[in-house]
Amino acid sequence: MNPQVTPFFHAATSAWSYIVCDADGDAAAIIDPVLDFDPASGRVWAESASTLLQYLREHALEPKWILETHVHADHLTAAAWLKRRTGAQTAIGARVTEVQRTFKALLDLDDDFAPDGSQFDVLLEDGDTLPLGGLRIEAIATPGHTPDGVSYRIGDAVFIGDTLFGPALGSARCDFPGGDAATLFASVQKLYALPPETRVFLCHDYPKDGEAPRSQVTLAEQVCQNKHIVRDTTAEQFVAMRTARDATLSVPKLLWPALQVNIRAGNLPSATSSGRRFLKLPLNANEWE
C-alpha cells in the first residue's frame, strides 16, 4: 500500500512540509512542519502550521506522528505547536543527542536544557519502524549533512530531508558541526539502492524566477541527473567537490534562532522572571578584541 502525500511550501524559507496519510483510513503523519519567524522583530507565529492543521481537520485525519528529518538550521519547526493541538508524537533520528550536545556547548545553554533527546517522544535508529494505519514508516539513517539525519520511507515514497535537493541543485552542505561529506556519500548510496520508481520528496527547493518549486522527483531522476552525485560518482570525487563548495557558502540566516528552537523539538526557550523569552546570538569577537 502506498501513501497519499500532500505537500505545503513555505516560501519564506523555501521549505517543504508534508502530510502523509493512509488513503484507506484516517491515520496521518506530518513531516518537517515550519513555524513562521521574523528575526528582525522577534515575532513568532503559526500561519503555516495552521494551514496544516486546517487540512487535517477538513479531511478528518488524525495525526499520529510529527516527523523531523533532522535539526534544521534554516527554519524553525512547528512540531511543538502542532503537538499541543493534535496530541501527535514527535520523532527524530537518535543521533539528535550529538547535535544537542554540540549546540548546548556553543550556545552556553543553562543546565535546564538536557541534551538527551528527551524533548522528543521517539528517537529512531536505522531500520526502526512506526505504524501509520495500514502503512509502515521505516527510518533510514542518512547522516552527513547533520549527524541526526534520517529519511522516512513509507510505501513507494521516501522523505529525504536535506540529504539531496532536486537534481538541478545537487546535495546538502556538510560543513555544520558533525557533518561529513564521506558520510553523506554513504547515505546517498543507501537511498540510491531503493527502487528507481520511488517517489523522492524534498525538504527544500530554490526555483529560478518564474519556475514553480518542486516537491517531488523520482529516484531514477536523482540517480541519473543529480548535479553532484550520480550512479558512477566516486566517494573521492564527491568529497572533493563538497569540500570545495562548502568553503564558499555563507552561514544560514536563521542558523542560531533555528537551532535553539529545533533542538528543543520546537519549544521556545524558557521564559525569564519577566515572562519574556529570548534567543541567544553568539558573537565572534576576535577582530573586536
Query: Which domains are assigned to the chain?
Result: 4-260 (3.60.15.10)
When pLDDT is cut at 50, 70 and 90, the band that residue 5 belongs to is very high
pLDDT higher than 90, residue 124: yes
When pLDDT is cut at 50, 70 and 90, the band that residue 24 belongs to is confident
Q: Tell me what pLDDT residue 139 has.
A: 98
d(CA 212, CA 38): 24
Q: Tell me what pLDDT residue 285 has.
A: 72
The strand pair at 27-31 and 62-67 is best described as: parallel
Structure-block grid coordinates of residue 114: 538536557
pLDDT higher than 70, residue 287: no
pLDDT one-digit tens code per residue, 64-82? 999 999 999 999 999 999 9
Phi, psi of 246 (to 5 degrees): -60, -30
Average pLDDT, the chain: 96
d(CA 23, CA 59): 11
pLDDT one-digit tens code per residue, 202-251? 999 998 889 999 999 999 999 999 999 999 999 999 999 999 999 999 99
CA-to-CA dists, residue 219 to 23, 69, 85, 171, 201, angstroms? 23, 18, 35, 14, 10
